Amino acid sequence: MASIDIQGLDKTYGAIPALRAIELHVADGECVALLGPSGCGKTTLLRAIAGLERIDRGELLIGGRCVNALPPAQRGVAVVFQSYALYPHMTVYENMAFGLRCSGHARDVVRRRVQRAAGILELESQLDRRPRDLSGGQCQRVAIGRAIVREPEAFLFDEPLSNLDATMRVQMRVEFAQLRRRLAATMLYVTHDQVEAMILADRIAVMRGGRVEQIGTPQQLYTSPDNRFVAEFVGTPRMNFIDATYLGRGDDDSAALRIDASGVPLRVRCRDPGLRRGQQVSVGVRAEELHVLDAPEADADNVLEAEVMLVEYLGDTALCHLRHAGRLPLMLKCAIAPAYGSALRIGFAADGALLFDADGRACR
């Protein structure tokens, strides 16, 4: 296996920039997910690494060697696309062996590699079957097996689970997580599903508009996002945002604020926000950080009156859609669902929220 290094990579289509100043390092044996909304450039970046898109500027290294000018077949990577692209008239064995046979590998080498990949993917009993006889998850495993037999330096996955139904996707996530631990391979994994990225990847690169907004572990992105976009994109349900006005520093390393919609006082733990008094900010609070208050709180900070607008039952928990001050939407996770239309008093701790300035940058 080998590392992947991307240094100052740019790609444009005519006058439209698709990738801008991309800097990314994928260590040997590491799995990095490219996460972002549709059109952010994640698939374009993967195709550029694979050699399927020409880059305009920058350097791309795989295993320490520059591959900018190399054709796809010489880059030492294997790509697994969203579509299985299996030959319907071939058996599973023949689909997995086809590329090796075309490359002139000896018959015993082909057999050994296919049998090894089939064992890793638990496809030994399916080798004589054709794609029409397989489930969607099995077809995807065959597509992955076709990549494994090449014994590449790195694997590139382009949303490989997006064609599966919800139940099969959950199952394949588990299987994929087990597979990557068995292979100990270098992987770049493209997805728009942040749950998928957080489960499967060692680190995640969040992209927007052709740029990498932040790179970090799933825990780092969830608890310490660099900006409001990352905070909003990572996590289910999406983070609550409350527009507020900054009033100044508190006595306990906190920022004093006031909600614009209702004037309710807030306090957020923040050592040095770097803000001016009267500046507009956003307070970010995750749904699990909000809690229902059963009794009046001695401290009136961070206490909001809210009305229940919708309840989504999720088995052991409920996701409540609330409205504060007649219009501010909030989402709350709770064990016991309140009744529709009921009035609640909700609150959160000062260190259970994040603060973002008017430009969306996190205030630490």
What is the CATH classification number for the domain harbouring 295?
Answer: 2.40.50.140
The DSSP result for 214-242, as a single string, is: EEE-HHHHHHS-SBHHHHHHSSSSPPEEE
- Determine the pLDDT at residue 280: 96
Statement to judge: residues 208 and 314 lie in one domain: no
- Determine the pLDDT at residue 175: 85
- Considering its fold, how many domains does the chain have in total? 2
Statement to judge: residues 206 and 339 lie in one domain: no
- Amino acid 47 reads R
Statement to judge: residues 23 and 151 lie in one domain: yes
Statement to judge: residues 278 and 347 lie in one domain: yes
Cα 73 from Cα 122, distance rounded (Å): 27
3-state DSSP call for residue 95? helix
Domain endpoint, select from 182, 205, 233: 233
Q: Which two tokens stand for residue 241?
A: 């945002």
Domain endpoint, select from 233, 252, 267: 233
Range of the domain at 42: 4-233
**Gap between the terminal Cα atoms of the chain:** 38
Q: Which two tokens stand for residue 37?
A: 């909304």
Cis peptide before 225, with omega less than 30 degrees from 0? no
Give me the residues of the chain with pLDDT under 70, please.
295-300
Q: Is the dihedral of CA 92, 97, 102, 107 positive or negative?
A: negative
Cα 16 from Cα 237, distance rounded (Å): 33
Bridge partners, residue 156, by sequence? 79, 188
Task: Please give the DSSP secondary-structure letter assigned to residue 168.
Answer: H
- Determine the pLDDT at residue 82: 85
Statement to judge: residues 225 and 274 lie in one domain: no
**Residue the block writes with tokens 């320490």:** 64
Domain endpoint, select from 203, 233, 263: 233
83-134 pLDDT, tens per residue? Answer: 888 999 999 999 999 989 988 999 999 999 999 999 989 899 999 999 999 9
Cβ burial of 294 (10 Å; 0-12, 13-18, 19+) is exposed
**Residue the block writes with tokens 């520059």:** 66
- Determine the pLDDT at residue 337: 84
Domain at 14, CATH number: 3.40.50.300
pTM of the model: 0.91
Statement to judge: residues 135 and 270 lie in one domain: no
**Residue the block writes with tokens 């590699």:** 113
